[in-house]
Amino acid sequence: MSSKFHALAGLLLAVLPLAGCGGEQQAVADGRGGRGGQGGQEGRGPQGPAREVRLTRAEEGRLPRTVAVSGTLGADEQAELGFKVAGRIASINVDLGNPVGGGQVVARLVPTDFQLRVEQAENLLQQARARLGIPPSGPDRLVPPEETAVVRQAAATLKQAQANRERMASLLEQQLIPRSDFDVAEANYGVADARYQEAVEEARTRQALLEQRRSEVEIARRQLADSVLTAPFDGRIRERRSAIGDYVSAGDTVAVLVRVHPLRLRLAIPEREAVGVRTGMPVRLTVEGDPTPHNGRVARISPAISEDNRTLMVEAEVPNQSGVLKPGSFAKAEIVMEAEQPAVLVPASSIVTFAGIDKVISVEGGQAKEIRVRTGRRAGEQVEILDGVAAGDEVVAEPGNLTDGQAVEVVR
């Protein structure tokens, strides 16, 4: 047993060197070892074939300093239109979205009752004129009490009583009549004088009644005029709440009118940016669904910072002659704080953003190189670079998913 074991061990020691030598020869023959293997990968980068890229140059341009904010467009004026008098609607001349000019008739009430009130007031006015002796036609005038019939009659009675008293006084002095007759004449004079004063007061009352009747006529005519509802300013009908035949009380809303030119853009400016905001500054804005930019100007500035959100409320006026902009729309706006200033600009397509970090890709030694940048304002298809790239530097125009260190080949 021992001799057989030693013989087998010797045989294995003799075979192992021959197997190692044969493996090395096969590896050399297959080209998997030494420098020959590396030579078979010539023309390929560490991550595959080189990717073709096109470069663009960072340019120096000019951009204004702006503050980007968002806000809501509102109507410059809005009115809930309603009649000043109660009545039944006879006609409505507008509907939702209709343009309306200032003074245009919006709706009318049935005028019959108002016309009858005017006629009634005018008849009462004629009665008051007649009691003062004023002709039915012609303008109303102030009649002195002494010129009225009632006062003239009382004045004549007073004059007669005064003359009778004086005559009785003379006869009494001559002792031609008893004292009682003079007393009667004296009493009659007192009565006549009182009636004269009463007549003067009656004339003044009639004059006041004439003024009252004249006012009643004006009120009746005003109510007749108020049975026609007109627009107070130019605008568009935002809402219609009544229909023909409805009975409406005074003040009930028939329609809602909004002024659409100009519009008010309400903006909340952060406190750190509010210091430089001034009236008259240009404002550029866009609304959802409409890429067309619109222009306006800062018109009103709140005198105080809001303590709740630390913002300053600003209103800008935005022209809207065409009516394209709608009140209530959400708008993104820029307030131009300063005139155009130098800036480094690159195409927006050259910016790569990942995890909130902005980068551009340059080419160095045939490989892509990521450069972290800090972006600023945007002007159309160009973006301002505040840090990381200088004017004249070349970056990849459309890097896509290009990674740092990847082999690239520049094409022109």
Domain ranges in the chain are: 51-64+343-410, 66-75+259-338, 78-111+228-258, 112-226
pLDDT in tens, the chain (412 residues): 444 444 444 444 443 343 444 444 333 333 333 333 333 333 444 556 888 889 998 888 877 777 889 999 999 899 999 999 999 999 999 999 999 999 999 999 999 999 999 999 999 999 998 888 888 777 777 788 888 888 889 999 999 999 999 999 999 888 888 999 999 999 999 999 999 999 999 999 998 999 999 999 999 999 999 999 999 999 999 999 999 999 999 999 999 999 999 999 999 998 888 888 899 999 999 998 888 889 999 999 999 999 889 999 999 999 998 888 999 999 999 888 776 778 888 999 999 998 889 999 998 888 989 999 998 877 778 888 888 888 889 999 988 888 888 898 888 7
Determine contact, residues 263/287, Cβ cutoff 8 Å: no
> 3-class DSSP state for residue 329?
coil
Tokens, residue 179: 């004292």
Q: Are 318 and 262 within 8 A, CB to CB?
A: yes
May I ask the CATH architecture of the domain 66-75+259-338? Answer: Beta Barrel (2.40)
Instruction: Report how many helices (DSSP H) and strands (DSSP E) the chain contains, helices first.
Output: 6, 23
Any idea what DSSP says for residue 142?
P
* pLDDT (0 to 100) of residue 191: 95
Helix ranges (H only) for 268-397 are: 271-274
User: What is the structure's pLDDT at 165?
Assistant: 92
Query: Can you give the pLDDT at residue 11?
Result: 45
Contact at 8 Å (CB) between 259 and 75? Answer: yes
Domain at 78-111+228-258, CATH from 2.60.40.1930, 3.30.1330.60, 2.40.50.100, 2.130.10.10: 2.40.50.100
What is the Cα 104 distance to its own chain's centre? 23
R_g of the chain computed on alpha carbons: 52
Let me know if domain 51-64+343-410 sits in CATH 3.30.540.10: no
Alpha-carbon span 69 to 85, nearest angstrom: 46
Q: Are 392 and 58 in contact (CB under 8 A)?
A: yes
Place of tokens 């003359």: 163
